[in-house]
Amino acid sequence: MQSNTDSSGSGTYSQTVGLLYVFNLIVGTGALALPKAFQTAGWLLSITLLTFSAFMSYVAATFVIEALSVANAVISKRRRIEYDDVVVADGPSTFEIAKKVEVSEMASMFLSKVSLVFSYFAIIIYLFGDLAIYSTTVPKSAMNIVCSTINASTVKSTDPCHESWPDIFSRMMVYRIFVIVFVVVVCLPMVIAGITKTRHIQIMTTLSRWAAFILMISLATMQLSSQGAAAHPPAYNFHGFGSLFGCAVYAFMCHHSIPSLITPMRTKENVFGKIAVVYGIVGVFYFTLSLTGAFAFEHVQDIYTLNFLHDDNTSFVYSIIDYFLALFPIITLTSSYPIIALTLINNFKVVKDILCPKTGQENESLLEADNQGEEIDTDDERDTRNARAERNVFDVLVPALVLALPTFLSLLTDDMLLLASVTGSFPGVAVQFAIPCLLVTAARKHARSVLNFPVPRKNNSPFQSPIWIVLISSWAGFSMIMVLLNLVGVKF
């Protein structure tokens, strides 16, 4: 949890490169569910809601950056006290973002224990949803590569994978087999080994992401130009609000990684304005991808890349492109799954330490037991062995839970749009909106009352009025109610 990193070393990069990283982080696989959500909710409602959600997401991102500057001022003050043993007057320079302070550490700095536990649980539930989406998207893509055409709206999960195959091998059965293979055979060994994404894998996934999205936009545009619109979505359909809102939140999620991307920038000059430009470009990118897909295909799949698989064009080049697009989620999500799983395991351990902190005596007993082996058998030693056994059980149960629960959800449903909308609408709202609002409110109060210096103008979010906190909270609350009404089948 303590992960301060100095940005003055060799790990820095230019502001342009940093903004490109922010763009790459936002434009992830969550965008693959947007065309289906656009077609369901209607083009006008989709444009309006995505624009408003993107703006609210940007406001929350500026809150995280402001809280990050206050966290740097806190660290700077602590160091001066530690080394000089005197309190030095604070000034604007102490708010410069030079140290990476993760969102979880900022929560520990500024929030009460209740708010801190809420933040961690929100992140944990969101990460569970993330893993469920991953363990659904990859097997569903693999199943559709193996099985016959899917572009017809009449295809059902109970249909056979191939007409010549036994009836037991339905599309759903093949999908479930791929779920087990993906989690147990592919991902479990990587989680046990603690494999994380290397620089080469990061470059590969970035290039494949850009290539895939550019290809999808180009192919859909070419199809619209040559064949006209295959579908005519309505202007609005409020029954699709829930899935659209959840996907919009999920598609703009970047807030938990902002400190890792902003801190290494060599200059933070006008960073708020330039991130606004990034959000604008991402919005145009999403609109182009979603609108071309919603009109080009009569039945948009919940994983958009699948619309290009097994199509009518059978030329060799098109076949290569189609299979690349179908493999794109498999390549990118397989490399990300163990990272998310390990992050989730670590968050569980932190919450356990917050709720059940070890006393100094317990830690000392554990250390002595490690040094003395089994030479003593006092009551304290038995308590120490019990504590160690509980720790070992925890270390086994948590990874098992982390892998088992998302896998169970994936075995129940292959509806990626449903998983993305629920993940984005509930825990996603907490991570993207609630936590940044809590952080910036507490950080501003800390700056005034503890640091005795207001946040400098250059580090201030452009949205200083408390009305913005109220507006984001109201928007999140209204949207969650709409999603709940949609999920229970209320018609508008």
Question: Which DSSP category does 456 fall into?
Answer: P
Residue entry with tokens 């088992």: 404
What is the rounded distance in angstroms from the CA atom of residue 261 to the CA atom of residue 103? 12
Question: Could you state, in order of their start, the residue ranges of all structural domains in the chain?
Answer: 15-357+387-488
- pLDDT given at position 344: 87
Residue entry with tokens 């030329």: 315
The number of beta carbons lying within 10 Å of the beta carbon of residue 468 is 19
What is the rounded distance in angstroms from the CA atom of residue 237 to the CA atom of residue 487? 15
Query: What's this model's pTM, rounded to 2 decimal places?
Result: 0.83
Query: Does 369 have pLDDT greater than 50?
Result: no
Tokens representing residue 313 in the block: 């064009």
The three-class DSSP label of residue 39 is helix
Tokens representing residue 176 in the block: 């479930």
What is the rounded distance in angstroms from the CA atom of residue 472 to the CA atom of residue 52? 11
DSSP string for residues in 368-420: HHHHHTTS---HHHHHHHHHHHHHHHHHHHHHHHHHHHHHHHHHH---HHHHH
Tokens representing residue 353 in the block: 């330490």
Between helices 43-84 and 466-487, what is the axis angle to 10°? 130
What is the rounded distance in angstroms from the CA atom of residue 18 to the CA atom of residue 269? 12
DSSP string for residues in 82-113: HHHSSPPPP-GGGGS--B---HHHHHHHHS-H
How does pLDDT run across 88-140, given as a tens digit for each residue?
Answer: 455 566 788 888 888 888 998 999 989 998 998 899 999 999 999 999 999 99
From the list 27, 21, 29, the residue with the least C-alpha distance to 333 is 29
What is the rounded distance in angstroms from the CA atom of residue 8 to the CA atom of residue 13? 10
The three-class DSSP label of residue 309 is coil
> Which range has the top average pLDDT, 9-13, 345-349, 366-370, 440-444?
440-444
How does pLDDT run across 405-452, given as a tens digit for each residue?
Answer: 999 999 999 998 889 888 888 899 999 999 999 999 999 999 988 888
What is the rounded distance in angstroms from the CA atom of residue 252 to the CA atom of residue 464? 22
For the chain, the distance separating the N- and C-terminal CA atoms, rounded to the nearest angstrom, is 45
Cβ neighbours of residue 159 under 8 Å, at least 6 residues apart? Answer: 170, 171
How does pLDDT run across 143-189, given as a tens digit for each residue?
Answer: 988 887 655 556 777 888 888 888 888 999 999 999 999 999 988 88
DSSP string for residues in 260-274: HHHTTBS--TTHHHH
Cβ neighbours of residue 244 under 8 Å, at least 6 residues apart? Answer: 37, 38, 40, 41, 45, 46, 49, 50, 421
Instruction: Just give the CATH number of 15-357+387-488.
Output: 1.20.1740
Between helices 113-146 and 316-355, what is the axis angle to 10°? 150
